[in-house]
């Protein structure tokens, strides 16, 4: 037994010496790895940044940046829009009154939606759709409907009060409207009818549309009524007013006849609504 132990001793010392030689090399590799240097660089960067943030030039520059950012009045927004318009029915009202129909009222309302942008002092409103609340007038056995929709309306304004909270701007723009005129007259029962094609007689129905470009000029004002911390998002309430005119008069093609009722769809309009805005 002792002889066996003596024979194994040289092997044991050889293995121990190899382990002693390998261990320092492995330790040095751990001390020399990329991860070690990355952590050290991060520590130095964090330390330098903390020092920099405590310096007066950095504090002043940061304060100026936050002030300038908060003072920016540029925005992009989704717009909900409503307006009240005056329509001049003029001679048209006189002619239908002579036929026993009620006259149309001058005022009506419209609702719609669009987008709005402000860049520096320019205020740009784009209405994608503006629908008229239909007006209907009736007479003995007959009725007339009239409505005018803005299929697209855009205007550009120039802000006179550069402020992140209030804007006041004159504006001018173009619009594309669709006027729809409908007339219905009830028929009477035909006692001598022969089939469904002549069971009623004397009825009439007309439904025609006129498309026209036009322009608008006016003034607008808006104010931020609600905003998040830092004024980055919020709600703007706006009012606008001005005149609107078509290029030419509306014309309706009825059974081959060029009918011009002499209606001015919008004489003036007063608008209001909200803009859900975000600042760049």
C-alpha dist (Å) from residue 112 to 86, 157, 235, 237: 17, 20, 17, 15
- Write out pLDDT tens, residues 189-220: 777 777 767 677 777 788 999 999 999 999 99
C-alpha dist (Å) from residue 28 to 32, 34, 116: 6, 12, 64
Q: Which residue has the tokens 């121990």?
A: 16
State the Cα–Cα distance between residues 247 and 213, nearest whole angstrom.
6
pTM above 0.75, yes or no: no
State the Cα–Cα distance between residues 172 and 193, nearest whole angstrom.
59
3-state secondary structure of 90: helix
CB atoms within 10 A of CB 38: 10
- Write out pLDDT tens, residues 55-105: 888 888 877 766 655 556 889 999 999 999 999 998 899 999 988 899 999
CATH topology of domain 73-278: Porin (2.40.160)
Q: What residues does each domain of the chain span? A: 73-278
């Amino acid at each position: 037994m002792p002889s066996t132990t003596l024979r194994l001793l040289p092997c044991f010392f050889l293995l121990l010496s190899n382990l002693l030689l390998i261990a320092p090399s492995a330790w040095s590799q751990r001390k020399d790895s990329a991860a070690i240097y990355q952590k050290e660089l991060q520590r130095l960067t964090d330390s330098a940044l903390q020092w920099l943030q405590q310096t007066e030039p950095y504090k002043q520059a940061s304060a100026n940046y936050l002030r300038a950012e908060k003072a920016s009045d540029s925005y992009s927004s989704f717009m909900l829009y409503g307006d009240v318009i005056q329509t001049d029915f003029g001679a048209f009202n006189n002619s239908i009154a002579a036929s026993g129909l009620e006259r149309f009222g001058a005022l009506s309302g419209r609702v719609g939606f669009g987008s709005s942008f402000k860049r520096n002092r320019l205020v740009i409103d784009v209405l994608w759709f503006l629908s008229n609340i239909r007006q209907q007038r009736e007479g003995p056995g007959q009725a007339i409907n009239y409505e005018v929709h803005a299929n697209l309306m855009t205007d550009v304004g120039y802000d006179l009060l550069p402020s992140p909270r209030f804007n006041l701007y004159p504006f001018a723009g173009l619009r594309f409207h669709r006027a729809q005129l409908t007339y219905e007259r009830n028929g009477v029962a035909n006692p001598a009818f022969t089939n469904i094609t002549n069971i009623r007689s004397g009825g009439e129905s007309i439904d025609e549309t006129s498309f026209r470009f036009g322009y608008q000029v006016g003034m607008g004002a808006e104010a931020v009524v609600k905003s998040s911390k830092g004024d980055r998002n919020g709600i703007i309430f706006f009012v606008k007013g001005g005149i609107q005119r078509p290029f030419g008069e509306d014309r309706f093609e009825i059974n081959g006849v060029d009918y011009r009722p002499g209606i001015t769809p919008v004489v003036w309009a007063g608008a209001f609504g909200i803009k859900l805005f975000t600042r760049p």
